[in-house]
Amino acid sequence: MHRALCPVETLYVGQRSRAVLSCALRGRVDVAALSAAYDAMAQAHPGLRSRIEHDGAGHVLRLLDEDERPSLTLRYGDLEEAYAEELNRPLTVGGPLSRAVLVSAPDEESHLFVLVIDHTVTDGHSSIALHNALWDRYRALVEGESAAEPAAELSAQPSAELSDPRWPEPVSRLLPPVDEADTATYLDGRLEEVRRHPVALVPYDAVPGDGTRGGAGDGTGGPQGGIEVRRLTLDADHTARLRRTARDAGVSVHAVVAATLLATARRRLDGDGPRTLGCLSPVDLRSRLSPPVPATALVPAVTTHLQTLDVAEDLEPLELARTVHGRLSDFLARGDHFREMRITPEIPRTPALQLATVIATNMGVVPGPRLPEGLRAVDVRLVPAREQYFPQAGRSPVMACVVSFEGRLSIEFPHSTACFSRSFMRAFRDDVRAGLLRFTTAAPSRRADALTA
């Protein structure tokens, strides 16, 4: 049984990008129940137990044979080291598009659960929903509740070509009808825009061969280096004050974060005057379709908004945030998010359509997993990773994955050590933190308590 990939989904095949969700746990884990919960998720969502194949006409998702399907992997050892290894371990080419690993520390009370999913079959919202559904299933099994089999909710009626009715419909097929001439006009305008306003990228600073990931030095040790993550988190108090400041200013938290990222990137570029920078914001389409597509539908359901801005070093951050917010709001009001989705197949021919100085994702405020008594979640993380970072390019966008789990803002900065050194990304992270904390001073302050990792 198989399902053809739509042109938008096919773009992820070459990228080999993946969502890496992790949950640090404290307490007793029932391994059998966790294994059964993951099996139930894979059974409910065919994409988790599929491989990508080329069938001559294009790429398809094909169900794996029973003995090839993914199952929970158990490991023991240091949790931080295990996380770094799982972040850097790609999904096997031609193998399952998901992986679940439970790592237990020697004390058997501390654990790390890692769920990896290929972006061909998921996005940030659906991967978080899947992670929470898995733990809901686990809790029901441990507590002996009567739990119905998890159902993969469909984004539309199955098409005639689908041999398994549980395959979700590609989101690109659910867009409202449009005149092809309108799409062509929109594409012409976007191509002219990127031609007239090329954006500056942040130069790499890593020196190939200067150290190894996990070893001495601050460089890479190889042409590809390793994937590492610098992280910024704000406590609940500072997160609430940041939201309040944004609300009082009439902008979104996303705009505040994006403006802070742009200002931080500008300070890494030469020149005294304004520089043209780009901000790429993924846009969730689920709630904007009719009928809405639930987060439980395991499909990539995002498009992007690219805006270019002239950013000076002394530009007032709130003014920049208002510009970012206004442009994104206008983009949505015009319905350009649907037009952008339709021109996505053009990106391989014109990568500048998505070329930005900073990429600012934002999952918004999401709940963490609900666990049974005797087990608690110490931390939850979502980090995107991919196979190729192209250090030979000499410069690239800076990626920031923004999500608020349980009321605490978290920004993850994944990077290759073949491109950006550890010291560079630590300094970038710290500057972003300082910029966000300045926004929180607009609200009553208790104790500055921003955590970094």
- CATH architecture designation of domain 174-452: 2-Layer Sandwich (3.30)
Q: Strand, coil or helix: what is 398?
A: strand
Provide the residue ranges of all domains of the chain, joining segments of one domain with +. Answer: 2-172, 174-452
For the stretch 276-304, pLDDT in tens is 999 999 999 999 999 999 999 999 999 99
Judge if pTM exceeds 0.85: yes
**Other beta carbons within 10 Å of 193:** 14
98, 115 in Cβ contact below 8 A?
A: yes
Please tell me the predicted confidence (pLDDT) of residue 223. Answer: 53
Q: How many whole angstroms separate alpha carbon 122 and alpha carbon 352?
A: 24
Q: Are 362 and 257 in contact (CB under 8 A)?
A: yes
Spell out the CATH class of 2-172.
Answer: alpha beta
Half-sphere exposure of 286 toward its Cβ, with a 13 Å CA cutoff?
A: 22
Q: Is 160 exposed, middle or buried (0-12, 13-18, 19+ CB in 10 A)?
A: exposed
pLDDT of residue 208: 64
pLDDT at 453: 45
Reply yes or no: is the peptide bond before residue 317 cis, omega within 30 of 0: no
Strands 73-76 and 98-104: parallel
Is the fold of 2-172 the same as that of 174-452?
A: yes
Distance CA 288, CA 124 (A): 16
pLDDT of residue 217: 36
In this predicted structure, what is the pLDDT of residue 1?
A: 80
What pLDDT is attached to residue 442? 59
Which residue ranges in the chain fall short of pLDDT 70? 146-165, 208-224, 442-453
pLDDT score at 205: 95
